[in-house]
Structures are given as structure tokens and as C-alpha cells.
Amino acid sequence: MFSFDPYSPAVDADPFPFYRTLRDEHPCFWSQEANMWVLSRYADIVTALNDWQTYSSARGNLMTELPNRAGATLGTTDPPRHDRLRGLVQHAFMKRNLASLDGAIREAAIDALQPLLGQRQFDFVEDFASKFTVKVLFRVLGLPPGDEVAVRDRAVLMVQSDPATRQKGPAHIAAFNWMSEYASGIIAERVKQPGEDLISQFSLAEIDGERLSEREVLLTTTTLIMAGIESLGGFMSMFALNLADHAEARRRVVADPALLPEAIEESLRFNTSAQRFRRCLTRDIELHGQQLKEGDFICLAYGSGNRDERQFANPDVYDIDRKPRGHLGFGGGTHACLGTAIARMAVKMAFEEFHRVFPEYSRVQEQLPWMPSSTFRSPLRLDLAVG
């Protein structure tokens, strides 16, 4: 009997064969292990993303949710509350308002590369991606320098789950609590002495004449740090992996960095780092002959929709000329990623600089250690041989 267990190490390592069976044979599948329905076809996922009234995020959007988040953050509320929260922060993430960060982002890449000069081999994740992403996120969110390493380590742990218990384990919860306390300290400072930064604005903002609740400010800030650092770092590692494995594509983007943006889009499709998110049904529906009930959880398998041959021709081929518009790498609809513009800009600059120094690289490990996560997919370590 076919089963699909998003907690199993086999799915962490290679979910794609499972996805194919899901799409072809069980387009609306009840996963016993995850205790939710799984939607795997592009069109079904897009339909869900265009209908938040039915597919609600208010009971959480991470496959394995963290305590208290449901109902209190951008990713875990529905309109109209969601739109108002989002309205408070999204100006900071609009493309035109990010232009001022150009120099700082490039500098972060150059700084992170400095210690690697002259090395023959290093871990892309630890030695470059994470150093770069924390620097960028600290700038965007206006966090005080000094705690980068501690923050990054916790952000990575927070999104993981325990494969045995299928829940967040003590280490994951401890990381989440640490991050909440860290965020809470920053918020307290900003409320006392507000600056021009995003967290100051958010802490003091009002919706309909009412200040946001402490819990909203705290969990939204915590989520921004987690979502920003982990998602950006995870995706960069997947992009590096794709370019390491596809030498011809890499040589083309090295020779002509103007091709980077399209290569980034193709990697968002091909190796979706944000594999699966969840929703909760607000009413009974029928789908592919199954009866789904109000209150049932639904997994939207973005990583599968992005490999759906009904939408993308030869989906298992990595092709930087594909222009995979409409891919699900950032989700879509009301809850589409807040960080799309900063993520695209930061990854592009990071690789422009990385390729200047290391135009040739290849993967060292045959088997990669994959992060144990029911939501995200990226290697914990990616050793690259350079030169």
C-alpha cells in the first residue's frame, strides 16, 4: 500500500518519486502519518491558493506548527487581519524600497567570501550561505550586530522537526523560545526608543486605532527572523547544489551573470526549498472523488506542483532557459512570500560575487545530509570543491 510520510528521512532526501505517485494515482491523498490530506497537482494547489476563504491559514501554515503561532502572524492569519498586518510591513520589502540596500547586500557577500579566499574546499552552507543571510536579514530588519551566529543557529533549528515523534522536539522548542526572548528584548528596546526601523514601526503600529497585541508583535517578529534566515539560506544552498551538479548551466551564468535571475527561478521550481505548507478547511468539499471535511488539514505540496508534467514540460530536467512562470517556489495568492523581492535580489548578488571568486565548483559528498523537516528541504552541509 502506498504511503506518504513527510516526516520520513526518505522524503527529506528525495520526495520526487513519492510526488509522482501522488499526482498520478492519489491526487487527493489522506496521509495517516501526517494526519492531513495532500494536494500534489499544480492546478489543485493553485486553486487552493486562490481561495483562502476555504483553505484557511489561521490554524497554522507550517506542516508541524510551533506553539502559539496560529492566529498571530502573517503566515497564520486570514484576511482581513492578515492584510492589515501585512500592510504594516510590506512597504519595507517592496522592490523599489530595497534599492537602498544594494551596497550593503553586496558588501555582505564580499565579507562572507573573504575567509574562503585561497581555500580548496569548504561547506557552502556554514561557511558562506548562513554568514551572508544573517548579515542581510540583520540589515533588512534593523537588528543590532553581534548576535548573528546565535540567531542563525536557532532559526535553522526552529524549522526542523523530530522524525521519530513527528513533532517539534525539546531542542526545536528551546530554539523557538530563545528566539522569542531575543525578539522580545529587541521589541522592548524599540518601544522605549523607537527608530526608523521596521520593528520599531511594527511595535508601535495601530490597526483600527488599536495597538497590536504583544503576542502578535512578538510572534510576527520571531517569524520574520526565522522565515528570512532559514528560507534564504536554505534556498541558496539548493541553488549552489543545482549549479554544482549542472556544470553547463553554471558556466553559462558565470560567463553571463544576466542569466542568473532565470536560473534562480528555475531552481525555485526544480528544487523548491519550501516544499510543503498547510491549510485548514473551513467547509466540507469534494475533490477527486474524496469527501473532505471542515476542520481537516491540507498539505499543499509546492515541491510536487513544481514538478507536475501537467504544467511544466519535462519537469525533472533542470533547464535555465525554461522561464517557469507561475511556479510555486514562493507559494502564491494572499500568503505568497513577503520576501520575494529581497530574496531574488540577495541571491543574485551573492552568486555574482561568489562566481567572481569561484567560477568552478563541484559537489564533494555523494549523499547529502538532509535537514529533518516536514516543511523545508535543504542540505545541512554542502561541501564544495573549488577551482
Partner 1 sequence: MVMITYVEPNGGRQEIDVPEGWSLMQGAMSNGVDGMEAECGGSCACATCHCYIDEAALALIPPAADNEAAMLENVVAERRPTSRLACQVKATAALEGILVELPAAQS
Binding site for partner 1 (CB under 8 A): 42-43, 46-47, 49-51, 83, 86-87, 90, 93-96, 311, 325-326, 330-338, 340-341, 344
| Segment interacting with ligand HEM (CB under 6 A) among 29-37, 271-279, 285-293, 310-318 | 271-279
User: Is residue 355 within 8 Å of 253, Cβ to Cβ?
Assistant: yes
Question: What span, in angstroms and rounded, lies between the C-alpha atoms of 263 and 348?
Answer: 10
Shortest Cβ distance from residue 50 to partner 1 (Å)?
5
Shortest Cβ distance from residue 278 to ligand HEM (Å)?
8
From the list 60, 52, 63, 1, the residue with the least C-alpha distance to 26 is 1
Question: What span, in angstroms and rounded, lies between the C-alpha atoms of 374 and 164?
Answer: 12
Binding residue for ligand HEM (CB under 6 A) from 128, 270, 277, 351?
A: 277
Binding residue for ligand HEM (CB under 6 A) from 330, 351, 361, 370?
A: 330
Q: For ligand HEM, what does the binding mask look like between residues 73 and 102, x meaning CB under 6 A?
A: -xx----------x----------------
For residue 133, how many C-alpha atoms fall within 13 Å in the half-sphere facing its CB?
A: 30
Residue 60 interface partner, choices ligand HEM, partner 1, none, CB cut-off 5-8 Å depending on type = none
| Segment interacting with ligand HEM (CB under 6 A) among 172-180, 312-320, 324-332, 359-367 | 324-332
The yes or no reply on residue 232 touching ligand HEM (CB under 6 A) is yes
SS3 at position 65: coil
Shortest Cβ distance from residue 260 to partner 1 (Å)?
16
Shortest Cβ distance from residue 255 to partner 1 (Å)?
26
User: Is residue 282 within 8 Å of 272, Cβ to Cβ?
Assistant: no
Shortest Cβ distance from residue 339 to partner 1 (Å)?
10
Torsional sign, CA 274, 276, 281, 287: positive
Specify the residue, 329 or 386, whose C-beta has the smaller distance to ligand HEM.
329
Alpha helix stretches (DSSP H) within 26-67: 42-49
Question: What span, in angstroms and rounded, lies between the C-alpha atoms of 354 and 344?
Answer: 15
The yes or no reply on residue 338 touching ligand HEM (CB under 6 A) is yes
Give Dmax (Cα) for the chain.
60
User: Is residue 92 within 8 Å of 198, Cβ to Cβ?
Assistant: yes
Binding residue for ligand HEM (CB under 6 A) from 218, 224, 243, 249?
A: 224
Question: What span, in angstroms and rounded, lies between the C-alpha atoms of 82 and 15?
Answer: 31
Shortest Cβ distance from residue 249 to ligand HEM (Å)?
18
User: Is residue 24 within 8 Å of 307, Cβ to Cβ?
Assistant: no
Specify the residue, 343 or 371, whose C-beta has the smaller distance to partner 1.
343
Specify the residue, 141 or 186, whose C-beta has the smaller distance to partner 1.
141
Residue 282 interface partner, choices partner 1, ligand HEM, none, CB cut-off 5-8 Å depending on type = none
Dihedral of CA atoms 155, 318, 11, 129 in degrees, nearest 10, equals -20
The residues that bridge with 279 in the sheet, in sequence order, are 298
SS3 at position 276: strand
Shortest Cβ distance from residue 47 to partner 1 (Å)?
6
Specify the residue, 276 or 355, whose C-beta has the smaller distance to partner 1.
276
Cα 304 to chain center, whole Å?
15
From the list 23, 29, 36, the residue with the least C-alpha distance to 374 is 36
Distances (CA, A) of 141 to 45, 195, 279, 315: 31, 12, 28, 36
| Segment interacting with ligand HEM (CB under 6 A) among 121-129, 207-215, 225-233, 377-385 | 225-233
| Segment interacting with ligand HEM (CB under 6 A) among 118-126, 206-214, 245-253, 337-345 | 337-345
**Residues forming the site for ligand HEM (CB under 6 A):** 57, 61, 74-75, 86, 224, 227-228, 231-232, 235, 273-274, 277, 302, 329-331, 335, 337-339, 342-343
